[in-house]
Chain A
Amino acid sequence: MDSLQLGSYTFSSRLILGTGKFSNADVMLDAVRSSGTQLVTVALRRFNRDMAEDDLFGPLSAMEGITLMPNTSGASTAAEAVRAAHIARELSGSPFIKVEIHPNPQHLMPDPIETYEASRILAKEGFLVMPYISADPVLAKRLEEAGCASVMPLGSAIGSGQGLGTADMLSIIIRESRIPVIVDAGLRSPSEAAAAMEMGCSAVLVNSAVAAASNPPEMAAAFAGAVEAGRRAFNAGLMQRSGSAVATSPLTSFLGTGA
């Protein structure tokens, strides 16, 4: 499988794993291991002495070949996201930042205006900006022009497991983009991840689908296989679908039978 390039970073895995919603840190770490991922998302939280094992930095940074991509979840404005990004970089030492700004905690829909503004500022500061957005092709182009390292449109609402509900818009974004397109959010099954990769996505980010599976490490491995299969299929070039039915009165009779 060909590698994924984000900024100056090269990844052989095209699966990005989120670390939220796992039953405990050990299961999460097992899932990270069996997924073969090299890029994992983490969130900034207030330190709490009673939940010291929640701190993931130690165990994740002890794992070989893992780059951290902190997100800005919790931010509801561009200014908050920029501040979170600065703190996150301090802690992770990684230039990656997943800009995630949702003003409404019920739906967790990304705010396009605040996301654009934060991404523009952070890209100028040298971050590898990975904005989580609705599947909006124009916003994707604007973010590309703003200097983002990728765009991460949602497949469907975050945590919904509704799959590639935005497939039509995703295919436009993929077709028009000059930066990697990573489907983030909404996937439930490995076959959906494979479908996203077959469409030409550069990578897939999953979290809930793995964390909420009965056996998260096994599901993480299944996603890894699906992402690889989808990418290889994309590289191999899918057969074209056969054309539509032939009209009853021929459209091309004016051409004659020709050579």
Chain B
Amino acid sequence: MITIQLNGKQETLPPGSTVETLLPIIGSDGKSVAVVVNDHIVRPENRSSHLLQDGDHIEILVFAGGG
């Protein structure tokens, strides 16, 4: 298992997880989220090939209300 920081919380994932496999686990359809791994944006077309590593910091962001 690998340990990652997801939106500030620690999570464990099976080895070989990618950004794409992560999204359904956390309940996102992946349509309107931005994924940032270690301060780098992972674009939708790269999500299936982006392997997650032990210790990665992952931010998943959406648009919410704001002024």
Nearest residue (CB) in B for A72 is B66
In the bound complex, residues from chain A placing their C-beta under 8 Å from that of B33 are 47, 55, 91
Question: In residues 26-60 of chain A, which contact B (Cβ within 8 Å)?
Answer: 28, 41-49, 52, 54-58, 60
Write the nearest CB–CB distance from B38 to chain A, whole angstroms: 12
In the bound complex, residues from chain A placing their C-beta under 8 Å from that of B60 are 46-47
- A68/B7 in contact, CB under 8 A: no
Q: Which of B27, B32, B62, B67 neighbours the largest number of chain A CB atoms within 10 Å of its CB?
A: B67
Nearest residue (CB) in B for A54 is B64
Q: Which of B31, B32, B43, B59 neighbours the largest number of chain A CB atoms within 10 Å of its CB?
A: B32
Nearest residue (CB) in B for A42 is B63
- B63/A44 in contact, CB under 8 A: yes
Is A207 an interface residue, CB under 8 A from the partner?
Answer: yes
| Majority secondary structure of chain B interface residues (helix, strand, loop or mixed) | loop
- A41/B67 in contact, CB under 8 A: yes
- A47/B65 in contact, CB under 8 A: no
Nearest residue (CB) in B for A70 is B63
A–B Cβ pairs within 8 angstroms, 16 of them: A18-B65, A21-B67, A25-B65, A43-B66, A43-B67, A44-B61, A44-B62, A46-B8, A46-B60, A47-B33, A49-B27, A54-B64, A56-B63, A57-B63, A60-B63, A91-B34
Q: Which of B31, B59, B63, B64 neighbours the largest number of chain A CB atoms within 10 Å of its CB?
A: B63
- A43/B27 in contact, CB under 8 A: no
Cα(A237)–Cα(B24), bound, Å: 58
- A56/B64 in contact, CB under 8 A: yes
Nearest residue (CB) in B for A55 is B62
Write the nearest CB–CB distance from A101 to chain B, whole angstroms: 14
Chain B residues within 8 Å of A, Cβ to Cβ: 7-8, 26-28, 31-34, 36, 39, 41, 43, 59-67
Cα(A73)–Cα(B26), bound, Å: 25
- B62/A54 in contact, CB under 8 A: yes
Is A201 an interface residue, CB under 8 A from the partner?
Answer: no
Is A205 an interface residue, CB under 8 A from the partner?
Answer: yes
Give the number of residues in A that approach B within 8 Å (Cβ atoms): 40
**Per-residue B-contact encoding for A204-220, CB less than 8 Å = 1, 0 else:** 01011000000000000
- B34/A73 in contact, CB under 8 A: no
In the bound complex, residues from chain B placing their C-beta under 8 Å from that of A48 are 7
Q: Which of A47, A58, A208 neighbours the largest number of chain B CB atoms within 10 Å of its CB?
A: A47
- A54/B65 in contact, CB under 8 A: yes
- A158/B64 in contact, CB under 8 A: no
Known contacts A87-B34, A91-B32, A46 near B65 by CB under 8 Å = no
Q: Which of A68, A73, A86, A205 neighbours the largest number of chain B CB atoms within 10 Å of its CB?
A: A86
In the bound complex, residues from chain B placing their C-beta under 8 Å from that of A208 are 67
